[in-house]
Chains A and B, each alone.
Chain A
Amino acid sequence: MLEAVTALGSVFFDPYLLFLIFATTIIGIVIGVLPGLGATTGAALLLPFTLTMEPVHAIAVLATIYVAATFAGSITAILINTPGTSAAAATTFDGFPLAQRGEAGRALGVAVMSSTFGGVASVIVLCFAAPLLARVAYEFRPPEYFALTIFGLSMLASISAGGAIKNLMGGVFGVWLSTIGAERVTAIERFMFGNYELYEGLGFVPVMIGLFAMSELLVQSKVANNAVEFVKMKAVQLPSREDYKKIWKTVLRSSGIGTFIGILPAEGATVASMIGYSEAKRWSKNKEEFGKGSIEGIAGAESANNAATGGAMVPTMVLGIPGSGTTAIILVGLMVHGLRPGPYLFTEQVNSVYQIFGSMLAANIMFLLMGLYAAKIFARISLVPINLLWPIVFALSVIGAYALNSSLLDVWIALIFGVIGFFARRFGFAVAPIAVGLILGKMVEVNLQNSLKMFNGEWWLIFTQPLAVFFLILAFLGLCGPQIFAMYKNSRKS
Chain B
Amino acid sequence: MSVKTQIVPIFLTAVSFSIIYLALQLDLSPPMIVGDSMQPRSFPIFLMVLNLILTGALALQFYRNPPKDQEPILRITWLTMALMVLFYALTVSIDMFVGISVVMFLMSLIWGQRSILIAAANAIITPFLVFLLFDIVLRIRFPRGLITNWYYG
A406 within 8 A of B: yes
User: Which one of A402, A412, A452 contacts B142 once the chains associate, using CB atoms below 8 Å?
Assistant: A402
User: Which one of B40, B48, B61, B77 contacts A222 once the chains associate, using CB atoms below 8 Å?
Assistant: B77
Please give, as numbers and ranges, the residues of chain B lying within 8 Å of A224 by CB-CB distance.
76, 111-112
For residue A408, which residue of chain B has the nearest CB? B143
For residue B57, which residue of chain A has the nearest CB? A165
Please give, as numbers and ranges, the residues of chain B lying within 8 Å of A387 by CB-CB distance.
107-108, 111-113, 119
Interchain CB contact under 8 A, B37 and A390: no
Q: How far is the CA of A452 from the CA of B127 in the complex (A)?
A: 51
Residue total for B at the interface (Cβ-Cβ under 8 A): 67
A394 within 8 A of B: yes
A194 shortest CB reach to chain B, Å: 13
- From known contacts A52-B139, A169-B55, A169-B58, infer whether A395 and B47 are also in contact, taking CB-CB under 8 Å: no
Q: Name the prevailing secondary structure of the A interface residues.
A: helix
A468 shortest CB reach to chain B, Å: 18
Interchain CB contact under 8 A, B81 and A419: yes
B93 within 8 A of A: no
- From known contacts A395-B104, A408-B143, infer whether A419 and B84 are also in contact, taking CB-CB under 8 Å: yes
Interchain CB contact under 8 A, A385 and B74: no
Interchain CB contact under 8 A, A185 and B130: no
Write out, one digit per residue, whether chain B residues 105-127 have a CB within 8 A of any chain A CB (1) or not (0). 10110011100001100110011
Interchain CB contact under 8 A, A165 and B103: no
Please give, as numbers and ranges, the residues of chain B lying within 8 Å of A456 by CB-CB distance.
36
Interchain CB contact under 8 A, B26 and A169: no
Interchain CB contact under 8 A, B107 and A52: no
Interchain CB contact under 8 A, A395 and B127: yes
Q: Sort chain A's interface into a size bin.
A: 35 or more
B8 within 8 A of A: yes
User: Which one of A179, A186, A399 contacts B100 once the chains associate, using CB atoms below 8 Å?
Assistant: A399
Q: Name the prevailing secondary structure of the B interface residues.
A: helix
Q: How far is the CA of A169 from the CA of B61 in the complex (A)?
A: 14
User: Which one of A221, A412, A419, A449 contacts B76 once the chains associate, using CB atoms below 8 Å?
Assistant: A221
For residue B56, which residue of chain A has the nearest CB? A165
User: Which one of A173, A222, A399 contacts B74 once the chains associate, using CB atoms below 8 Å?
Assistant: A222
- From known contacts A186-B34, A391-B122, A403-B134, infer whether A173 and B140 are also in contact, taking CB-CB under 8 Å: no
- From known contacts A176-B44, A186-B40, A406-B141, infer whether A191 and B27 are also in contact, taking CB-CB under 8 Å: no
Using a CB-CB cutoff of 8 Å, which residues 395-421 of chain A contact chain B?
Answer: 395-396, 398-399, 402-403, 406, 408, 411-412, 415, 418-419
- From known contacts A176-B44, A388-B108, infer whether A428 and B37 are also in contact, taking CB-CB under 8 Å: no
A218 within 8 A of B: yes
Please give, as numbers and ranges, the residues of chain A lying within 8 Å of B40 by CB-CB distance.
183, 185-186, 188, 190
For residue A449, which residue of chain B has the nearest CB? B37
8 sample A-B contacts, Cβ–Cβ < 8 Å, listed by A number: A166-B58, A176-B44, A225-B111, A392-B126, A398-B100, A399-B130, A408-B91, A411-B91
A residues contacting B by CB (< 8 A) are 48-49, 51-52, 165-166, 168-169, 172-173, 175-176, 179, 183, 185-186, 188-191, 217-218, 221-222, 224-225, 385-388, 390-392, 394-396, 398-399, 402-403, 406, 408, 411-412, 415, 418-419, 422, 426-428, 445, 448-449, 452-453, 455-457
What are the nearest 6 A-B pairs in CB distance?
A: A457-B36, A387-B111, A183-B40, A391-B104, A186-B29, A224-B111
Besides A218-B81, A394-B100, 8 more A-B contacts (Cβ < 8 Å) are: A165-B58, A179-B43, A191-B19, A391-B126, A392-B126, A422-B77, A427-B8, A455-B36
